[in-house]
Amino acid sequence: MAGVIKIYSWKVIPLLELGLQCLFDDQRGMAFCGGYQDLNRLLEQVQTAPVHVPQVIFVDYLEGYERHPASLSSLKAGSHQVRVIFLLPRSEDDALFMRALRAGADGYMLQSSAADLVLQAVRTVAAGKSYVGPEVAPVMLDALRKPMYVAQVPSVQLPLSDRERTLIQLAADGLSNAEIADALGLAEKTVRNLWSSLFEKLGMEDRTQAVLWAVRTGHAVLR
C-alpha cells in the first residue's frame, strides 16, 4: 500500500461509514482501513503505518470530539502524518461551528457533503493543507463577523512583527508550512520555528487558534 492514503473513521454512524467505505473502495491511491468506535483500537492501527504514509481520519464532531475533547491531541500525537477531518451536522448554532474551528482539526465539512467534496477534502489535508467545505465556510465566516464573537476578543492587543503578520496571513489563506516556506524563501524548519515563537507569544497551541485570533483582532483577513 505504498503511496496510498490510509483512511479511517471514528464515532461515525454505520450508514455514513458504509458510504465512506464504498466511496474509497473505488478510488486509486486511497484505502478505507476501517471504522472505529473505540479510540484505543484506532490509535493502535494508526501507529502500525509507516511514518511517511498520510493517514486521514473522519471524526463525527459531536459524538467524537465534543464528547472526548482530548481525542484530537491523541490522534495527532507522534511523528505519523495524521490528518483529522471533522464531520459536522447541519445546524444554525454558530457556537457549534466556532467550537469546531477552535479545536484545530485539519478539515471541516458537513456530514451530508457530496462524494466529490469528500475526495477533495482527503486530497487536500493529506497534502498538508487545510480544508473547509463550501457549505461550512460561509457559516464560519458569518459567525466570525458577528458581534458576539468580536466581544470575546481579549482587550490586550499584542503587536506582531511584519514577518509574523505575513506568516499568519498566509496561513489564513490556507497555505501549508511547506508552501509558506516557498513563498517566504525560508526553510520549512524555520517556518515551524516561527510558529513556535508565535504560539508562545500568543499563549496558543495551534495554527487554527492563531488564525482565529488574528482575524478577530484585524491582523489577518479571510479572503
Kindly report the CATH number that applies to the domain delimited by 5-145: 3.40.50.2300
Confidence (pLDDT) at 143: 65
Separation of alpha carbons 17 and 185, rounded Å: 42
Q: Which fold has domain 155-217?
A: Arc Repressor Mutant, subunit A (1.10.10)
Spell out the domain ranges in the chain. Answer: 5-145, 155-217
Gap between the Cα atoms of 87 and 110, Å rounded? 5
pLDDT the model gives residue 119: 95
Residue 4 DSSP label: P
Q: Report the SS3 class of residue 62.
A: helix
Q: Grid coordinates standing for 97?
A: 461551528
- 62: number of Cβ within 10 Å: 17
Q: What is the mean pLDDT of each run of 10 residues along the chain (223 residues)?
A: 84 93 92 93 90 92 85 78 92 78 86 93 91 83 56 56 91 83 90 90 79 81 73
Spatial distance between the Cα atoms of 186 and 190, rounded to a whole number of angstroms: 6
Q: CA 169 to CA 112: how far, in whole Å?
A: 30
Q: What is the pLDDT of residue 152?
A: 43
* Sign of the Cα pseudo-torsion (30, 34, 37, 40, in order): negative
State residue 33's pLDDT score. Answer: 94
Q: What is the pLDDT of residue 154?
A: 46
Q: Tell me the pTM.
A: 0.67
Query: What CA–CA distance (Å, rounded) separates 185 from 183?
Result: 6
